Amino acid sequence: MNIFYLLIGVSLFAALIFLAAFIWAVRNGQFDDQETPARRILFDDDVIEEKEADTRIE
């Protein structure tokens, strides 16, 4: 039943891609900004303030 080889192989392949993506993400400081995007949507009707929010640079 070589289905199992295919299955395990592809599963591991997929899992490794995501593991790599995750490690890369952490190392690159993916989770540094957890506040701004969540808060900004609350002001999306406010045209004037939006200008400030968008030009924010880390």
Partner 1 sequence: MENQKFYYDNKIVKLFILATIIWGVVAVLVGVLIAMQLAFPAFNFGLEYTSFGRVRPIHTNAVIFAFVGNAIFAGVYYSMQKLLKARMFSDVLSKVHFWGWQLIIVLAAVTFALGITTSKEYAELEWPIDILVAVIWVVFGWNMIGTIVKRRVQHIYAAIWWYLATFLGIAILHIVNSFELPISLFKSYSIYAGAQDAVVQWWYGHNAVAFFLTTPFLGLMYYFLPKAANRPIYSYRLSIIHFWSLIFLYMWAGPHHLLYQALPEWVQALGVTFSIMLIAPSWGGMINGLLTLRGAWDRVRDSAALKFLVVAVTAYGLSTFEGPMMSLRNVNMITHFTDWTIAHTHIAGMAWNGGIVFGMLYFLVPKLFRTKIYSEKLANAHFWIATLSILVYAIPLYWSAVTQWLMLKEYTPEGFLAYPIFLETLTQILPMYTLRIISGVMFLTGFLLMVYNMFKTMAAGEMEANEASEAPALVLQGARNPVKETVHRWMERRAVRFSIWVFVALFIGGAVQIIPMVFIKSNVPTIAAVTPYTPLELEGRDIYIKEGCYTCHSQQIRPFRWETDRYGEYSKIGEFVYDHPYLWGSRRTGPDLARTGYVNGPMYKNAAWHYQHFMDPQAMNEKSIMPRYDWFARRKVNLDMTPAKIRAMQTLGVPYPEGFDEEAVDDLIWQAEQIAADLKNSGIDIEPTSHMVAMIAYLHKLGGDIETQATPIIEETPNTENHEAGE
CB of 54 to partner 1, least distance (A): 6
Q: Which of residues 13-52 bind partner 1 (CB under 8 A)?
A: 13-14, 17-18, 21, 24-25, 28-42, 44-45, 47, 50-51
User: Position of tokens 């939006």?
Assistant: 50
Measured CA to CA, the distance from residue 6 to residue 54 in angstroms comes to: 47
Return phi, psi of residue 30, to 5°: -55, -35
Query: Is 12 among the residues that bind partner 1 (CB under 8 A)?
Result: no
Q: How far is the CA of 26 from the CAs of 19, 32, 38, in angstroms?
A: 11, 9, 19
Q: Which residues bind partner 1 (CB under 8 A)?
A: 1-7, 10-11, 13-14, 17-18, 21, 24-25, 28-42, 44-45, 47, 50-51, 54-55, 57-58
